[in-house]
Homo-oligomer: A and B are copies of this chain.
């Protein structure tokens, strides 16, 4: 008994993060961190900038600050020894912010999943089973690269696959998803990095669990202060952003029943118009899915920022400052509970 208490004490004394609220869940959109049209190719420049921005907000560490890199592995094809880890001080960083990173697949996994129809289930078919394995190989290799990019910047990132975490779906909806290990990782001062994954489904054997669905589920469970979606466009527009005259929707208000309306720019009856025009170019379930998922999160009382990755706008969104002050120059879409507007 005494020993148990001692253990408990010791545990408390080494987990100063435990009582800290979760600051942010950030989605790295597949289109933002990979080259969409090049099979299994990372957008290195974007990923590098995103990692640096995340370092600033997670570690409260300025760009010029000394960083203890946490990727000590060599790159494939090189014989380089790991970069030096000297000059590491044993000081204890307490200004760590709790972040969870979830990323999409982009040009990883999609080929394998669509070629085999993993999302439709049926593991008794050899092709589906092979596609399941091939999809996981592809998405976990992206996960590995993202963990490395973040670790290089000194972010204590930990790759966690939904499959390995034991997450299951039923009829393609989340069924069982234990977040206790994610909470433990956060309480130990790590940044869990999850991803869209091939998972087992209790009704159809298997399916694809998307990063957006994971984000919503985690938002419900972890109640972060805000959620950021990093994408490859400025935000949500009233029509395809490449069309002339497309207008960026600056703010969307979500009612308690989940219905939403455009608050800025103040166009009469804008919301109905948006639903139609956005849907019209939404063949992949991209923007409408994103608004719906964002609305579900805002309904919980959580601000959602949809913003272009690796820009000054994404840096501001990740800092959390938008909660109190939205600069006129800021470009992006805020999806926010209605009561906060009043």
Chain A residues in contact with chain B, CB under 8 A? 7, 10-11, 14, 39-40, 68-74, 76-77, 81-82, 85, 88-93, 111-112, 115-116, 122-127, 129-134, 136-138, 140-141, 144, 147-148, 151, 154, 156-161, 163-166, 168, 170, 178, 180-181, 184-185, 188-190, 200, 202-203, 205-206
Using Cβ atoms and an 8 Å threshold, which residues of chain B touch A82?
A: 39, 111-112, 134
A264 to chain B, nearest CB (A): 41
- Which residue in B77, B151, B206 is a CB contact (below 8 Å) of A134? B151
- Minimum C-beta distance from A114 to chain B (A): 11
Is A72 touching B205 in the complex (CB atoms < 8 A)? no
Complex CA gap A190/B115 in Å reads: 20
Per the bound structure, the CA–CA distance linking A271 and B17 in Å amounts to 51
Q: Flag if B166 contacts A181 (CB, 8 Å).
A: yes
Q: Can you list 20 A-B pairs, Cβ within 8 angstroms, ordered by A? A: A7-B202, A40-B74, A69-B130, A70-B129, A71-B133, A71-B137, A73-B112, A73-B138, A82-B111, A85-B130, A90-B126, A133-B158, A136-B147, A136-B159, A137-B144, A160-B163, A160-B164, A161-B164, A188-B200, A188-B206
Query: Judging by beta carbons under 8 Å apart, are B73 and A134 in contact?
Result: yes
Could you say which residues of chain B place their CB within 8 Å of the CB of A144?
A: 137, 140-141, 144
Q: How far is the CA of A71 from the CA of B109 in the complex (A)?
A: 11
CA of A178 to CA of B205, assembled, Å: 21
Closest Cβ of chain B to A154, distance in Å, is 8
Chain B residues within 8 Å of A170, by CB = 7
In the assembled complex, the Cα of A130 lies from the Cα of B152 at a distance in Å of 10
Give Cα distance in the complex from A164 to B143, angstroms: 13
Given contacts A14-B205, A180-B166, contact A134 B76 (CB under 8 A): no
Known A72-B131, A85-B127, A160-B161; 11 more pairs at CB < 8 Å = A72-B111, A77-B77, A90-B127, A92-B124, A93-B126, A129-B156, A136-B158, A158-B163, A160-B163, A160-B164, A166-B184
Among residues of B, the one whose C-beta sits closest to the C-beta of A184 is B200
Task: Report B-chain residues with C-beta under 8 Å of the C-beta of A85.
Answer: 115-116, 127, 130
Contact A73 B141 (CB under 8 A): yes
